[in-house]
């Protein structure tokens, strides 16, 4: 049976389900990163980053509000800019908890 992603659970983040041993991203303390989230599903996902806030980048390139969660609609994408200034290992997951439990969770390392 064909699957839409390479993970073992219902949902995946970056083509992998559930928390993995390796982080989704590793950042040096104070590093600024622009991350593009592409939602190729038929559901909205409220993407939530622990330990940090980020700026949403609008489709026209303007900077939006400072947030720790952003809603990415079905079939759309969203860029965020985050200054990773809080060292630690931080969850990055969908805030629809059934999605998170179903595999849509990862983490970032800030050192």
Full strand arrangement of the beta sheet holding 54-57: 31-38, 77-84, 54-57, 63-67
Q: Which lies closer to Cu ion via its Cβ, residue 49 or residue 94?
A: 94
DSSP H helical segments within 1-111, as ranges? 97-101
Can residue 99 be called a binding residue for Cu ion (CB under 5 A)? yes
Per CB under 5 A, the segment of 24-32, 52-60, 73-81, 88-96 that binds Cu ion is 88-96
Residue reference for tokens 């489709």: 59
Can residue 47 be called a binding residue for Cu ion (CB under 5 A)? no
CB of 89 to Cu ion, least distance (A): 21
């Amino acid at each position: 049976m064909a699957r839409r992603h390479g993970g073992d659970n219902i949902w995946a983040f970056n083509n992998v389900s559930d928390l993995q041993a390796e982080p989704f991203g590793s950042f040096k303390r104070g590093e600024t990163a622009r991350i593009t989230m592409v939602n190729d599903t038929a559901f909205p996902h409220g993407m939530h980053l622990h330990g940090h806030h980020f700026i949403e980048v609008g489709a026209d390139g303007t900077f939006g509000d400072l947030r720790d969660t952003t809603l990415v609609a079905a079939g759309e994408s969203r860029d965020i800019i985050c200054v990773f200034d809080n060292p630690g290992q931080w969850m990055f997951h969908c805030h629809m908890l059934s999605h998170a439990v179903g595999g849509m969770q990862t983490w970032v390392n800030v050192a």
